[in-house]
């Protein structure tokens, strides 16, 4: 039997939600609490919750239970007692707490914390004790037979349909597919509202993390959408992906599933790190997109290469002036893209680089082949591993767009801290993700 959910009404004074036992609806209206009585031809009758004490107050709702049919039947004069808004708020809170206990995997204290934030201070005194509310959540979950997912491989993960829901009852698990074998399981989490935001966002930011990914999956990929409000730039995490591997075909299948789920997705630009498979999959799925590389990752790639060369590392560590000269190569990302090659040639032919050509040989070969494009036997410049457009930040700065994926990195760090554990269980991962 499908569980009842709170009804969204057209009157802010009217709240209609499941009863404590979840078998029927109750209502609150202008400070009075009502229980279901009977259905009529075009209306539903609710009786005052104090009827056992002799109160004959009642209320008539529309067939959909979204509005009051005859407000005169719900006036204070019909009751033998005054309104009690605090009690009404407490009843509504406990209904929401039970719904969250059934539909989410958040910890007991987390469920209470989320809902208690919205309770007026005047209603706190009529609530059950914290101990009683915690026991209510635990009993509700036991009755619903909510058990943790037990699996040692991805192929053993059971059918997850309807298991992961948001607080408002919507499906949080949007995509659950296998690529070529049951062990290549992909899970994609989002909400309808988030997907609409992603469609409205022209600029995406994508980053992967490994520590926060459940142990059954290789990595967590998060897609953020950008919002521009004047000079204010805000990024929101909108889609979370649990991927079984880092193969291009896996990424491409994920993005095609996303396009099927939300056909209007058409980003203008996507910023990622320099993972070739991920970038190729984005271009294949969204041919019109401009890929932008994260300047932080561009710098990190170069610094890592410099630190991995003992002679070059020694030169940079002992000579600050030379370290400044070397940073000119990284600064090429802020030169207009059509001028990058000429600027690189100018730096490469400068006196500091010529005088240290032997020490620089390995690094310059790397920079040339990876970011600029080396020369073939005929002296023609070959395409680099990553195009200049992919790591150049000039246009991003001019347009006021972020030049790094710091928004994503910040989210990954905060989410990892929230989990307080590397490679959590799938249940724990989702309960913290929804919160």
**Alpha carbon separation from 431 to 159, 189, 434, 435 (Å, rounded):** 18, 12, 5, 6
For 150-198, the pLDDT digits (tens) are 667 787 777 777 777 776 678 889 999 998 888 899 999 999 999 999 9
For 288-300, the pLDDT digits (tens) are 999 988 898 899 9
pLDDT for 48 equals 93
Full pLDDT tens readout for the chain, 435 residues: 457 888 999 999 999 998 888 789 999 999 999 999 999 888 999 999 998 988 988 899 998 999 998 777 666 557 888 899 999 989 988 888 888 777 766 667 777 888 888 788 878 888 888 888 888 887 877 676 555 566 677 877 777 777 777 766 788 899 999 988 888 999 999 999 999 999 999 999 998 887 767 778 888 899 999 887 767 778 888 999 999 999 999 999 999 999 999 999 999 999 998 899 999 999 999 999 999 888 988 999 999 999 999 999 998 888 888 889 999 999 999 999 999 999 999 999 999 899 888 999 999 999 999 999 988 888 888 999 999 998 999 988 888 888 887 777 777 666 665 555 565 666 666 655 555
3 state DSSP class of 422: coil
Q: From the CB of residue 355, how many other CB atoms can be counted at a distance below 10 Å?
A: 11
Strand partners, 175: 188
pLDDT for 114 equals 80
pLDDT for 104 equals 67
pLDDT for 1 equals 44
Helices and strands in the chain, H and E counts: 17, 12
Q: From the CB of residue 121, how many other CB atoms can be counted at a distance below 10 Å?
A: 7
Under 8 Å between Cβ of 102 and 143? no
Of the candidates 146, 191, 185, 136, the residue with the CA atom closest to the CA atom of residue 165:
191
pLDDT for 427 equals 61
pLDDT for 297 equals 87
Tokens of 128: 């059950």
> Using alpha carbons only, how large is the chain's radius of gyration in Å?
29
pLDDT for 167 equals 66
| DSSP codes, 361-409 | HHHHHHHIIIII--B-TTSPBPPPSS-HHHH--HHHHHHT--SS-HHHH
What's the first-to-final CA gap in the chain, in angstroms? 27
d(CA 177, CA 226): 27
**Alpha carbon separation from 215 to 164, 267, 425 (Å, rounded):** 18, 31, 7
3 state DSSP class of 224: strand
Q: Are strands 269-272 and 290-293 parallel, antiparallel or unpaired?
A: parallel
pTM score over 0.75: no
Under 8 Å between Cβ of 429 and 105? no
Of the candidates 174, 213, 192, the residue with the CA atom closest to the CA atom of residue 412:
213
Under 8 Å between Cβ of 172 and 164? yes
Residue 353, C-beta contacts closer than 8 angstroms, at least 6 positions apart: 325, 347, 360, 364
Under 8 Å between Cβ of 16 and 58? no
d(CA 217, CA 12): 44
């Amino acid at each position: 039997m499908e569980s009842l959910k709170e009804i969204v009404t057209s009157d802010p004074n009217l709240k209609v939600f499941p009863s404590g036992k979840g078998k029927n609806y109750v209502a609150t209206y202008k400070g009075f609490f009502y229980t279901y009585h009977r259905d009529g031809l075009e209306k539903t009758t609710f009786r005052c919750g104090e009827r056992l004490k002799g109160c004959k107050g009642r209320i008539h709702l529309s067939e959909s239970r979204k509005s009051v049919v005859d407000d005169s039947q719900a006036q204070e004069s019909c009751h033998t007692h005054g309104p009690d808004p605090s009690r009404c708020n407490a009843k509504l809170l406990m209904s929401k707490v039970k719904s969250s206990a059934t539909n989410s995997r958040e910890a007991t204290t987390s469920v209470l914390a989320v809902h208690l934030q919205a309770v007026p201070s005047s209603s706190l005194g009529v609530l059950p004790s914290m101990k009683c509310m915690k026991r209510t959540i635990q009993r509700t979950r036991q009755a619903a037979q909510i058990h943790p997912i037990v699996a040692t491989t991805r192929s053993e993960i059971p059918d997850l349909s309807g298991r992961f829901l948001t607080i408002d009852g919507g499906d949080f698990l949007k995509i659950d597919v296998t690529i070529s074998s049951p062990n290549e399981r992909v899970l994609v989490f989002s909400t309808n509202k988030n997907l609409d935001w992603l469609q409205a966002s022209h600029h995406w930011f994508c980053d992967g993390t490994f520590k926060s990914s459940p142990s059954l999956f290789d990595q967590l990929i998060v897609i953020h959408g950008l919002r521009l409000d004047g000079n204010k730039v805000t990024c929101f995490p909108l889609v979370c992906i649990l991927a079984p591997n880092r193969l291009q075909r896996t990424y491409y299948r994920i993005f095609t599933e996303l396009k099927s789920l939300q056909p209007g997705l058409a980003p203008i630009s996507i910023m990622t790190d320099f993972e070739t498979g991920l970038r190729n999959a984005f271009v294949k799925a969204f041919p019109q997109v401009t890929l932008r590389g994260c300047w932080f990752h561009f710098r990190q790639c170069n610094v890592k290469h410099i630190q991995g060369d003992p002679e070059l590392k020694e030169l940079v560590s002992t000579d600050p002036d030379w370290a400044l000269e070397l940073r000119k190569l990284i600064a090429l990302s802020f030169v207009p893209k059509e001028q990058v090659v000429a600027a690189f040639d100018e730096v490469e032919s400068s006196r500091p680089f010529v005088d240290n050509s032997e020490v620089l040989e390995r690094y310059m070969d790397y920079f040339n082949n990876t970011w600029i494009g080396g020369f073939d036997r005929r002296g023609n410049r070959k395409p680099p591993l990553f195009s200049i457009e992919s790591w150049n930040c000039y246009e991003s700065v001019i347009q006021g767009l972020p030049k790094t994926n710091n928004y994503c990195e910040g989210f990954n760090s905060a989410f990892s801290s929230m989990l307080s554990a590397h490679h959590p269980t799938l249940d724990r991962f989702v309960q913290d993700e929804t919160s």
